[in-house]
């Protein structure tokens, strides 16, 4: 028996950040950088119209330390996880007592006890539930975490595994960091959460082949640097080039090992790291520029929510439709590509 995806839901925090408002604030906050006017067009070039934040836009006007950021991270992450859990249970027509295991992925904050334990307490999940917190996967955490949840369900047939992912990227903003990477991060990232339930029993698409590939000597491509006042985004300008040069080879190797062809894939649920990355992915998939409609739409409406984003993309698709094959993909720190097939 293969593991199936039984339910999928998403959630966002309450504050809306319109990109035109963000660029106006950024112009003021980063005015100490001489070439800020030259860099501001990056906000328009992202293809993002709005994002969501767990704090109002005025929060970004003053400095914040680890204690403030962590308190906000834990409070808002657990709120969003509780919200999305209730939604996904309702969609699957299950009770909280039916959940046997919980997997939680997040990389934008720290919590000990971990978020899975906090969610168990908030929601009143079973005391004997199996728990797996995942940290450090970054933008790949949604697809990789979902695959790990499917592995847990496969290992114990009949069990129901709740997968949750939450990222509060906005809380990593550091107003006194005028580096180009921080300005790009300010233009790209938003907050959100998603949840899924997987099991070998029930109705839904099956988890097919999956794989990961980690580039050699690529640890400095993407990640966090720990600063005194928070986490500093680290991502290289070379990411679109790496995708353009190497992803096609990785993709075709994965397909060949699993007796698949590119023509066998009906839909692509890709993490939209940015507009240039989507261009490179469309080239690798041999589809027209702009064809990744759901990925581009999620980027436009929510921004890059790190690990959460790929599940928002999948949710926009008719993922329950019989007879179709969906390929999920994401890129994250390592530098790693993750692929996962869903078969209807």
Is residue 54 annotated as a catalytic residue, yes or no? no
Among residues 54, 139, 169, 270, which one is catalytic?
Answer: 139
Secondary structure of the chain in HEC code, one letter for each residue: CCCEEEEEEEECCCEEEEHHHHHHHHHHHCCCCCCHHHHCHHHHHCCCCEEEECCCHHHHHCCCCHHHHHHHHHHHHHHHHHHHHHHHHHHHCCCHHHCCEEEEECCCCCCCCCHHHHHHHHHCCCCCCEEEEECCCHHHHHHHHHHHHHHHHHHCCCCEEEEEEEEEHHHHCCCCCCCHHHHHHHHHECEEEEEEEEECCCCCCEEEEEEEEECCCCCCCEEEEEECCEEEEEECCCHHHHHHHHHHHHHHHHHHHCCCCHHHCCEEEECCCCHHHHHHHHHHCCCCCCCCHHHHHHHHHHCECHHHHHHHHHHHCCCCCCCCEEEEEEEECCCEEEEEEEEC
| Residues noted as catalytic | 139
């Amino acid at each position: 028996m293969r593991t199936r995806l039984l339910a999928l839901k998403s959630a966002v925090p309450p504050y809306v950040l319109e990109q035109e408002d963000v660029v106006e604030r950024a112009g003021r906050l980063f005015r100490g950088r001489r070439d800020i006017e030259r860099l501001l067009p990056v906000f328009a070039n992202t293809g993002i119209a709005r994002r969501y934040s767990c704090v109002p836009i005025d929060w970004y006007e003053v400095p914040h330390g680890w204690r403030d950021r962590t308190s906000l991270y834990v409070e808002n992450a657990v709120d969003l996880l509780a919200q999305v859990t209730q939604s996904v249970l309702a969609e699957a027509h299950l009770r909280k007592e039916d959940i046997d295991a919980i997997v939680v992925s997040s990389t934008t904050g720290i919590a000990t006890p971990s978020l899975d334990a906090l969610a168990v307490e908030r929601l009143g999940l079973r005391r004997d539930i199996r728990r797996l917190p995942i940290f450090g996967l970054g933008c790949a955490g949604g697809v990789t975490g979902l695959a790990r949840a499917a592995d847990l369900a496969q290992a114990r047939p009949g069990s129901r595994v709740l997968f949750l992912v939450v990222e509060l990227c906005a809380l990593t903003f550091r107003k006194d960091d005028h580096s180009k990477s921080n300005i790009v991060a300010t233009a790209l990232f938003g907050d959100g959460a998603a949840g899924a339930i997987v099991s070998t029993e029930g109705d839904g698409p099956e988890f097919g082949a999956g794989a990961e590939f980690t580039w050699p000597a690529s640890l400095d491509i993407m990640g966090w640097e720990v600063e005194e006042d928070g986490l500093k985004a680290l991502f290289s300008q070379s990411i679109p080039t790496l995708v353009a040069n190497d992803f096609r080879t990785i993709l075709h190797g994965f397909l060949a090992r699993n007796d698949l062809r590119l023509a066998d894939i009906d839909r692509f649920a890709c993490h939209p790291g940015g507009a240039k990355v989507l261009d490179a992915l469309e080239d690798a998939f041999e589809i027209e520029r702009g064809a990744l409609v759901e990925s581009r739409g999620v980027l436009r409406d929510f921004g890059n929510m790190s690990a959460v984003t790929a599940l928002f993309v999948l949710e926009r698709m008719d993922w329950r439709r019989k007879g179709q094959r969906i390929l999920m993909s994401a890129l994250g720190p390592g530098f790693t590509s993750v692929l996962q097939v869903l078969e209807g």
